[in-house]
Amino acid sequence: MSFLFPGFLFALFALAIPVIIHLFNFRRFKTIYFTNVKFLRNIQEETATRNRLKHLLVLFSRLLALAFLIFAFTQPYIKSEIQNPQSATSTLSIYIDNSFSMEAMHDGQQLLEIAKIKAEEIADAYNVDDQFQLLTNDFEARQQRLVNKEEMLEMIRSVQISATLRNLNDVTKRQKDILSALGDEKTIYILSDFQKNSSDFENDSLYNFTLVPLQGNEERNISIDSVWFTDPVQMLNQQSQLCFTVKNFGSENIENASVQLKINDQTKGIADISVAAKSSVTDTLQFTMNITGTQNCELSITDYPITFDDVFYFTYQPVQKIPVLVINGNSENSFINSIYNNSLFFYQKYAATQIDFNSLNQFNLIILNEVSSFSSGLADALNKKIEEGATILIIPALDQDITSINSFLTNNKTAIFGNLISQRRNVTTINVNAEIFTDVFQNLPKNLSLPYADKSFSIDANSRSMEEIILQCADTKPLLSKYKSGNGNIYLTAVPLDRTVTDLPVQGGIFVPFMYRLAIMSMKNAPLYVIIGKEQWIKIPSLNLATDQTVTVKNKAIEFIPSMRKSGSNTEIDVSNYAKDAGIYSITGNSISQSLAMNYDRTESDLSFYSVDELKEKYTADNISILDKPEQNLSGVVAQMQQGKPLWKYCLIFALLFLAIEILIIRFMP
């Protein structure tokens, strides 16, 4: 036990006063004469004994009453377990969780407002010359410095709900960064609802943590978690199939919830879904688009009171025709012509000696059909297209110049062509899990005929190549394979599409789906959406900015210049850390205009929280305190944590108690 004002202990000398009074009885005695006191002797002795006992009890009561009164003025306390609680100047960091989950209500009040009140109470427990840091999920620049008490209170009052979600471990790292250069006392306060998916942090014994859990009322919540198309390319005037997932994070089953799809503010589809508690449902909506250009879409569901995750925004651009370029060497291939020469494709053919290199920019799929050798101009043009993300299919010629072609392949870190094999090779394995065959083979037919090749090249991969074998022969060498190269893909066949040496082009169950999917997957569309707060670089097609040029991203409420970087001949932008509100944004600049959808992070949708008991089980270290009664005024609680447990109130109670005992002794003891 320690004393806040030990100087008052000198007043204990005053205890000598009642002792002196009781030791020296200054009362005057009056002598009364009796004729005979013989019969009073025994009564006199018994009464004197009782008086001495009564006087001693009164003495002790007065001494104890006076002693406890003096102790009350010294303000005794039990020392706090917090290290260095009596520092001359305190420095502390307060984190207020202002994520969407803090919109929940507790007794008619929003959790964020309760957190702000509690933060003010914590600040009030400190002196005006103490230093403070306020941190929220926004990680604003002004939150990276220490402020005085008055400025701290103003910053607390200005905190608003934010779309940004932070892991508690990242938050505590920020708090420790600013406290690490200070003295021994390093105090951190965390006011949050402690969602389980973002509330874990690493303890550090050099810091004192105080957790203030704020629990809202149990709410139901359903969320549109994600959307995607079944096909990578949506064709104009053809039916598109949109898939979406709805999750129910509540403890009640949801029946017949209405999901509505709007495109350019026009309703395109409605679906009724039912979702069991703590589960999810995936459903589809079908629609046809007959308007060119970027389509601004939103998928919504009705839910209350958690509403931030009820609308999912996305954009896409339907394609009228898929561009395909074929560069022919020896002659045109009738099988390739029959597949791509229709209204679905913008089909262009060049002879290897008559290539218009300027027109290559409009093609994302380039097929090299039996081109015997690669000129330096062709190789440079193909390298540029690969850097931009194009897909290249190389079909060899039996008389090809392997050296020039392998030089191109080696530069792109793929496999190379080996020797020509004149023996028949049969395909024994088809990789149905290859990306090119996604959703093509649900169940592989048992009687599916696999191709053969009477003359074919050996395809030899090295350890550096990122190989995906699509068709594999019995000798484990590929007949058809894919290689990742830079931003693009290179496909190699070991055999020309010549019916005299292989039956691959007449294998309708394999060849036709492969060629169709090859064209469809070559399309490089902008992403359907981005998540606010997560870094994602977005390539803007046909946008090549000079050093001093910029683009602007804006909606009705905000306008900003995003982060930009060069990617080959294209430009990539990152908007995730600038936008604060979900919705459709427009990107304009340098004769380019397109839309981009941004959505809130769905991690906040899961309303699972740590209870006070779970937090106490999770964090048992001595330097971590958990306030299990946040409804009480925290000013006194924090002061007690800093100064220790005060005992002066108990001293006053005991002083009054012993005064009452003294009165009772005098009044009732004979």
d(CA 529, CA 316): 9
Each residue's pLDDT tens digit, 390-399: 999 999 999 8
116: left (phi over 0), alpha (psi -120 to 50) or beta: alpha
Are 134 and 146 a contacting pair, CB within 8 Å? no
d(CA 577, CA 602): 16
pLDDT above 90 (res 388)? no
Number of DSSP helices (H) and strands (E) in the chain, helices first:
12, 36
pLDDT score recorded for residue 30 = 59
d(CA 240, CA 243): 10
d(CA 164, CA 600): 8
- Range in 46-60, 279-293, 550-564, 602-616 the model is least confident about: 46-60
pLDDT above 60 (res 81)? no
* Segment holding 203, helix H or strand E: none
pLDDT score recorded for residue 83 = 45
Phi, psi (degrees; rounded to nearest 5) at 482: -120, 145
Confidence of residue 363 (pLDDT cuts 50, 70, 90): very high
- Range in 3-12, 76-85, 205-214, 625-634 the model is least confident about: 76-85
Confidence of residue 184 (pLDDT cuts 50, 70, 90): low
Going by DSSP bridges, is the β-strand pair 466-473/478-485 parallel, antiparallel, or unpaired? antiparallel
pLDDT score recorded for residue 545 = 62
Domains and CATH numbers, the chain: 2-79+647-668 (no CATH), 91-218+608-643 (3.40.50.410), 222-319 (2.60.40.10), 322-511 (3.40.50.880), 530-599 (2.60.40)
Confidence of residue 348 (pLDDT cuts 50, 70, 90): very high
pLDDT above 80 (res 214)? yes
d(CA 182, CA 130): 13
> Taken in order 329, 331, 335, 341, is the CA torsion positive or negative?
positive
Q: Residue for token digits 């549109």?
A: 224
d(CA 482, CA 495): 15
Secondary structure (3-state) at 139: coil
Are 443 and 417 a contacting pair, CB within 8 Å? no
Compute the mean pLDDT over every residue in the chain, rounded to the nearest whole number.
86
pLDDT score recorded for residue 569 = 61
pLDDT score recorded for residue 24 = 67
User: DSSP label at 66?
Assistant: H
> Taken in order 342, 344, 350, 356, is the CA torsion positive or negative?
positive
pLDDT above 70 (res 77)? no
Each residue's pLDDT tens digit, 546-602: 666 788 899 888 888 888 887 666 678 888 778 888 999 998 876 677 889 999 999
Who wins on pLDDT, 38 or 282? 282
d(CA 83, CA 54): 49
Sheet holding 570-574, edge to edge: 538-540, 570-574, 563-567
Phi, psi (degrees; rounded to nearest 5) at 41: -60, -50
- Range in 16-30, 557-571, 581-595, 609-623 the model is least confident about: 16-30
Secondary structure (3-state) at 487: coil
Q: Residue for token digits 């447990």?
A: 645
Is this structure's pTM higher than 0.85? no
d(CA 572, CA 99): 29
Confidence of residue 84 (pLDDT cuts 50, 70, 90): very low
Cα distance from N-terminal residue to C-terminal residue, the chain: 40
* Segment holding 664, helix H or strand E: helix 648-668
565: left (phi over 0), alpha (psi -120 to 50) or beta: beta
Who wins on pLDDT, 78 or 153? 153
pLDDT score recorded for residue 48 = 62
Question: What is 211-278 written as a DSSP string?
Answer: EEE--------EEEEEEEESSSSPBTTSEEEEEEEEEE-SSS-EEEEEEEEEETTEEEEEEEEEE-TT
pLDDT score recorded for residue 58 = 81
Each residue's pLDDT tens digit, 517-545: 999 888 877 788 999 888 888 877 655 56
d(CA 124, CA 113): 17
**Quick one: which of 587, 606, 472, 453 has its CA closest to 530?**
587
Are 332 and 355 a contacting pair, CB within 8 Å? no
d(CA 634, CA 193): 17
Distance from chain centroid for Cα 656: 58
Q: How many CB atoms lie within 10 A of CB 548?
A: 5
pLDDT above 60 (res 88)? no
pLDDT above 90 (res 509)? no
Q: What is the mean pLDDT of residues 200-228?
A: 89
Are 275 and 253 a contacting pair, CB within 8 Å? yes
pLDDT score recorded for residue 158 = 95
508: left (phi over 0), alpha (psi -120 to 50) or beta: alpha
Each residue's pLDDT tens digit, 425-475: 999 999 988 888 877 776 666 777 889 999 999 999 887 778 899 999 999
d(CA 170, CA 437): 41
Confidence of residue 293 (pLDDT cuts 50, 70, 90): confident
For residue 496, give Cα distances in angstroms to 55, 166, 470.
123, 55, 16
Beta strands in 541-649 (DSSP E): 552-554, 559-560, 563-567, 570-574, 583-589, 592-599, 624-626, 645-646
Q: How many CB atoms lie within 10 A of CB 630?
A: 21
- Range in 190-194, 225-229, 513-517, 593-597 the model is least confident about: 593-597
Confidence of residue 185 (pLDDT cuts 50, 70, 90): low
Are 440 and 230 a contacting pair, CB within 8 Å? no
For residue 169, give Cα distances in angstroms to 53, 197, 622, 627, 628.
68, 12, 19, 20, 22
pLDDT above 70 (res 237)? yes
Contacts (Cβ under 8 Å, ≥6 apart) of 651:
68, 69, 71, 72, 76
For 35-45, letters b (16+ CB in 10 Å) and e give: eeeeeeeeeee
Confidence of residue 489 (pLDDT cuts 50, 70, 90): very high
Q: What is the mean pLDDT of residues 319-337?
A: 92
pLDDT score recorded for residue 85 = 46
Amino acid at 534: K
Contacts (Cβ under 8 Å, ≥6 apart) of 180:
186
For residue 182, give Cα distances in angstroms to 81, 89, 622.
20, 11, 21
d(CA 272, CA 282): 12
**Quick one: which of 62, 24, 40 has its CA closest to 665?**
62
* Segment holding 65, helix H or strand E: helix 41-74
Distance from chain centroid for Cα 283: 26
pLDDT score recorded for residue 86 = 46
Q: What is the mean pLDDT of residues 309-319?
A: 93
Phi, psi (degrees; rounded to nearest 5) at 657: -65, -45
264: left (phi over 0), alpha (psi -120 to 50) or beta: left
